[in-house]
């Protein structure tokens, strides 16, 4: 039962707000640096065909699947390292960091093998049209090849967040961006025919940059950073620490991968509408990420403060940090939603010059999602806070209910003229096209956002073990 004394305040206490903002601003810049890398890739692709743009939308969904998969190392790493720092057990924190990197190497290798074996089959499942499946596959192969290094980058940054350091991740990703921009430009034709790998060259630049990022994080941890210092002995598998990490990470990864799979199902619904709606969908998603990533930054701040507070045996303080992160981060995201609505036309025109049909559809989608920013904030920030607390098992249930009970059926009904139920016949739909799919997304986000607010308010996460 919830403690009414821990209900959310309208405004967080100044000391809580200052600490959260101190942690969140580097994480925010880190997230936006990653966003700029993706935006730059989209910018380079804008003069390719609509088939290429549709392929890039799908490729980015699948690459986002990698981010969801990396939760299998990052969630437990932040939770356990944070609790160790809160309890001032720095020896255990270093052991946890070493084992997080062991998991990163193992799961990175598994993901690479799966990607090379199954990409072509997956393209058939998600229903890309014309030549887009081949284009998307060729784009993704260079990124799949370096998944071990990218998983190491993610795991190392997650450990540093648990230690209360969000600045190192920012510095590393700024370096990744500085490498990505010239290399992707050169390999996609900017440096002349000798280095012109076309559309695939964009991905090759991103892969080279993230490889450097992973190696940099490893070097920093071996040298020692923010109270964490690795040695080769800490990289020998330790079953007890691995078990503790996976106790948090496996349920979190099930949730994250469930979302990714449902997102691919949702994408197949959009792709079935045609190449133009698929391209517009990708442009709107790019800009929506500005709001999503702001929430992720305050989610990182909540992860660090919640895990450390619980390590100090102060669950009440952890609760206050969660509410404060939502108050500040959700407020920022609401402001960004206002900008999405007011500036939708020039924002979408930037990535579809001379393509009025694509622009019109992208604008309607972006203006629709503008109204969902508070709900997106609740979902993202409280997901991060609950994972940091070790309360990860219920999250997948929330995700399944939202996607399978709300988003997918609503998207089919609202976007299509009719829905084929096989032997049961067909039922009429509203035929709103891409707009209908995004209205379904908004309904799902508010439904799940409310569930996450309730879970945090209930206080049941305080008894979770890490």
Task: Specify the DSSP class assigned to residue 190.
Answer: I
426 φ/ψ angles, rounded to the nearest 5 degrees: -125, 155
Give per-residue pLDDT as tens, 137-195: 777 888 889 999 999 999 999 999 999 999 998 899 889 888 988 998 888 776 677 77
Q: What distances in angstroms separate CA 143 from CA 4, 116, 299, 382, one per listed residue?
A: 48, 11, 26, 30
| CA distance linking residue 68 with residue 154, whole number of Å | 11
The string over 225-246, giving b where at least 16 C-beta atoms fall within 10 Å of a residue's C-beta and e elsewhere, is: bbbbbbeeebbeebeebbebbb
Q: What distances in angstroms separate CA 1 from CA 4, 6, 318, 390, 391, one per listed residue?
A: 9, 11, 17, 18, 16
Take residue 339 and report the two structure tokens written for it.
């900008």
Q: How many domains does the chain have?
A: 1
| CA distance linking residue 365 with residue 399, whole number of Å | 22
Give per-residue pLDDT as tens, 193-233: 777 787 788 889 889 999 999 999 999 999 999 999 999 99
Give per-residue pLDDT as tens, 360-401: 999 999 999 999 999 999 999 999 999 999 999 899 999 999
Helix (H) or strand (E) holding 427: strand 426-428
Give percent above pLDDT 70 in the chain.
89
Helix, strand or coil, per DSSP, at residue 418: strand
The string over 144-175, giving b where at least 16 C-beta atoms fall within 10 Å of a residue's C-beta and e elsewhere, is: bbbbbbbbbbbbbbbbbbbbbbbbbbbebbee
Exposed/middle/buried for residue 417 (C-beta within 10 Å: 0-12, 13-18, 19+): exposed
The model carries a pTM of 0.83
**Structural domain span for residue 331:** 4-463
| CA distance linking residue 17 with residue 264, whole number of Å | 37
The pLDDT confidence band at residue 7, using thresholds 50, 70 and 90, is very low
Average pLDDT on 107-130 reads: 76
Q: What is the pLDDT of residue 88?
A: 94
Q: What is the pLDDT of residue 350?
A: 85
Q: Which of 9-23, 177-191, 194-208, 257-271 has the highest mean pLDDT?
A: 257-271
């Amino acid at each position: 039962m919830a403690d009414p004394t821990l209900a959310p305040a309208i405004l967080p206490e100044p000391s809580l707000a200052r600490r959260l903002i101190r942690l969140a601003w580097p994480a925010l810049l880190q997230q936006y640096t990653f966003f700029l890398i993706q935006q730059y890739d989209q910018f380079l692709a804008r003069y390719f065909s609509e088939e290429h743009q549709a392929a890039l939308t799908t490729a980015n969904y699948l690459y986002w699947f990698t981010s969801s998969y990396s939760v299998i190392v990052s969630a437990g790493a932040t939770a356990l390292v944070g609790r160790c720092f809160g309890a001032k057990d720095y020896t255990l924190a270093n052991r946890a960091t070493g084992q997080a990197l062991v998991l990163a190497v193992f799961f990175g290798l598994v993901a690479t093998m799966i990607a090379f074996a199954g990409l072509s089959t997956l393209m058939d499942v998600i229903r890309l049209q014309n030549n887009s499946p081949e284009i998307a596959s060729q784009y993704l192969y260079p990124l799949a090849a370096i998944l071990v290094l990218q998983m190491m980058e993610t795991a190392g940054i997650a450990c540093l967040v648990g230690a209360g350091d969000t600045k190192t991740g920012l510095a590393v990703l700024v370096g990744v961006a500085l490498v990505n921009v010239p290399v992707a430009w050169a390999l996609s034709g900017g440096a002349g025919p000798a280095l012109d790998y076309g559309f695939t060259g964009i991905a090759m630049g991103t892969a080279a940059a993230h490889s450097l990022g992973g190696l940099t994080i490893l070097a920093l941890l071996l040298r020692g950073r923010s109270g964490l210092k690795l040695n080769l002995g800490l990289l020998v598998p330790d079953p007890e620490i691995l078990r503790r990490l996976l106790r948090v990470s496996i349920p979190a990864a099930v949730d994250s991968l469930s979302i990714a799979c449902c997102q691919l199902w949702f994408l197949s619904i959009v792709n079935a509408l045609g190449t133009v709606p698929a391209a517009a969908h990708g442009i709107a998603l790019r800009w929506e990420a500005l709001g999503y990533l702001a929430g992720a930054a305050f989610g990182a701040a909540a992860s660090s403060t919640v895990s450390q507070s619980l390590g100090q045996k102060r669950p009440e303080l952890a609760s206050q940090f969660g509410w404060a992160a939502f108050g500040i981060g959700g407020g920022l995201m609401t402001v960004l939603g206002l900008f999405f609505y007011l500036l939708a036309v020039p924002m979408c025109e930037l990535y579809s010059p001379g393509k009025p049909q694509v622009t019109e559809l992208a604008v309607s989608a972006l203006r629709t999602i503008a109204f969902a920013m508070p709900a997106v904030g609740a979902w993202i920030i409280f997901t991060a806070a609950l994972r940091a607390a070790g309360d990860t098992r219920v999250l997948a249930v929330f995700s399944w209910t939202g996607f399978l009970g709300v988003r997918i059926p609503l998207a089919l009904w609202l976007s299509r003229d009719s829905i084929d139920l096989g032997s049961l016949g067909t039922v009429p739909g509203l035929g709103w096209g891409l707009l209908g799919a995004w209205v379904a997304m908004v309904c799902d986000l508010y439904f799940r956002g409310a569930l996450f607010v309730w879970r945090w308010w209930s206080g049941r996460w305080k008894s979770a073990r890490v």
